[in-house]
Amino acid sequence: MPNLETAVFGGGCFWCLEAVFQRLPGVKSVESGYMGSRVENPTYKQVCAGSTGHAEVVRVSFDPSRISYRDLLDVFFAIHDPTTLNRQGNDVGTQYRSVIFYDSDEQRREAEQVIAELTAAREFSAPIVTAVGPAGTFYVAEDYHQNYFNENSEQPYCRFIIAPKLEKFRKAFAEKLKA
């Protein structure tokens, strides 16, 4: 059994992030959930109402001998807009904020370095607003949120929001997906 590491990202709806990260070689599991507040055991309804302070996030378990944390960061910044505060497309509210929750000082340094590199290279037309903070308690989202795209690919949100994002991802990361 490989030594797995964990990464936690928030960048809009967790269904979108989950669908992409599940397709990366070296990723062993992706769970949708909530993080970023002291409110214990939040429900989807509470988080969507914006009353908890939690963000919708994914917890990615990965094998660092097959995929690096840096690779995960590169994918994260490619699949969402890190320049919009508390918003991704039509999803608006603090629960949809762009955020990286780190598990170690090494992850924090790497996340901050990637943001600095993207900023210096002017990869985006507006400033990056992605927050970087220590991981807190991860609350697993309700069962019906897990593996959402794979089980509901014909739903309108999946067809019109997630599927195009997956196609963009496949094109941008074709070489990495062959690994």
Which residues does the annotation mark as catalytic? 13
Could you tell me what percent of the chain has a pLDDT over 70?
97
Closest CA to 146 of 49, 23, 59, 50: 59
Query: Residue 122 maps to which CATH number?
Result: 3.30.1060.10
Predicted local confidence at residue 168, as pLDDT = 84
For residue 155, give its domain range. 5-177
Per-residue model confidence (pLDDT) at position 176? 64
* Separation CA 75–CA 57 (nearest Å): 15
**Global pTM?**
0.93
Tokens of 25: 């070689």
The tens digit of pLDDT for each residue in 60-113 reads 999 999 999 999 999 999 999 999 999 998 899 999 999 999 999 999 999 999
* Tokens found for residue 10: 């928030």
Q: Residue 100 and residue 15: Cα distance in Å, rounded?
A: 16
CA trace torsion 67, 8, 74, 93 (10° rounding): 160
Report how many domains make up the chain. 1
pLDDT in tens, 21-33: 999 999 999 999 9
Render pLDDT for 99-154 as a digit per residue (tens, 0 to 9): 999 999 999 999 999 999 999 999 999 999 999 999 999 999 999 999 999 999 99
